[in-house]
Every structure is written in structure tokens, then in C-alpha cells.
Amino acid sequence: MPLQGRPLIQHVVDRLSPMADEILLSTNSPAAYIFLNMAILPDEEPGQGALGGLYSVLRAAQHPFVAAVGCDMPFASRSLFEYELDSLIKTDADVVIPATANGLEPLHAVYRRDTCLPVIKSALEARNYKLTGWLKDVNAQVVSAEVTGQFDPGGVVFRNLNTPEEFRLAEERIKLDGE
């Protein structure tokens, strides 16, 4: 669906591509995203939900650290991703994941590819498709809701758009921000 006259996913790509060495898109509808001119990965085994998509991206990634973001999150924060990456590099964490009042945000997190891959594979083999269900088996560093909030003063970073009303509110937000 368009947002400000452009596909929603284009907003996410444009916002985050300046910080990325590589962008990979996980989808089971690759033809719908050809216009993005980027690597598009169908899930290796469809039906495993977002965790299967994360696994596919981690397997294909050429770099040791991978940031994951939902394609329907147009207000994703580059500065929060930079904070997460810095934390991952400075510690022995395998995942740096932000928390909010609503819980963990695995689709705005940074993953250490080599340590997360085998653990996610085991979770998928056990049919544990919950996106955060495997975190107990790695060194997960949680960014507290208080710290996360410092990167999200407007309360929009984790907002995903799924309904016409959410799109309308995002349009208003973009107009206010002058994006």
C-alpha cells in the first residue's frame, strides 16, 4: 500500500539504507518487490513465519552483524540501530533487542549471525516459530524500555502499519515531520 505516494517498504529502505552494507528482503512474494532492485529471499521453508524469514536472511547475509526490521515500520530508527550495533560489538551479546512497554521488539534488533543461526535452526526444527522463543538459548542483551524510549520520543519507531487508520496517522506524522 502506498504511503505518501510511495510503497510503504520504500520508506523503510530509504530510511535505513545509508547505514547498511547489504540489504536483504525476506518475502514469499518476491515478484511483488522486484521494483526495489535488491536481494529478495523467499523463506527456505515457507510456513515458519517471521522466524523462518529471519533465518533465511541470516543464512544469506555476507556480514557478521545483521539488523532486522519489519517492512511495515516506516519510522524505524537509524540511531537506535546504531546504538544496538555498538552494544553488540562492545559486548559478547548475540542479540541486542529493544524492549518497550509492549514487550521485546525482535524486528528492530541486531543479531550476531554466526551464533544466532544454529540456535534459530534448532528452534525451527523443534517447530518453535515464536520470534523470541529462542532468545533464552543465546546471550541476548535487552535495551531497557527507558533507554529505548530515548530513541523514540514520538512513540512511533515500532509502529507498524496494517490498517487504513494506521496509514492515515502515519501520513499525518510524515507531514508534521517534513519527511
CATH of residue 79's domain is 3.90.550.10
Cell numbers 514469499: residue: 28
pLDDT of residue 26: 94
Give the DSSP letter string of 16-65. Answer: HGGG-S--EEE-S-GGGGGGG-SEEE--SSTTSHHHHHHHHHHHH-SSSE
Question: Which pTM does this prediction carry?
Answer: 0.93
pLDDT digits (tens, 9 = 90+) for 91-150: 999 999 999 999 999 999 999 999 999 999 999 999 999 999 999 999 999 999 999 999
pLDDT digits (tens, 9 = 90+) for 6-36: 999 999 999 999 999 999 999 988 999 999 9
Range of the structural domain that residue 97 is part of: 2-177
What's the number of domains the chain is made of? Answer: 1
Say if strands 39-41 and 24-26 run parallel, antiparallel, or are unpaired. Answer: parallel
What one-letter code names the amino acid at 85? L
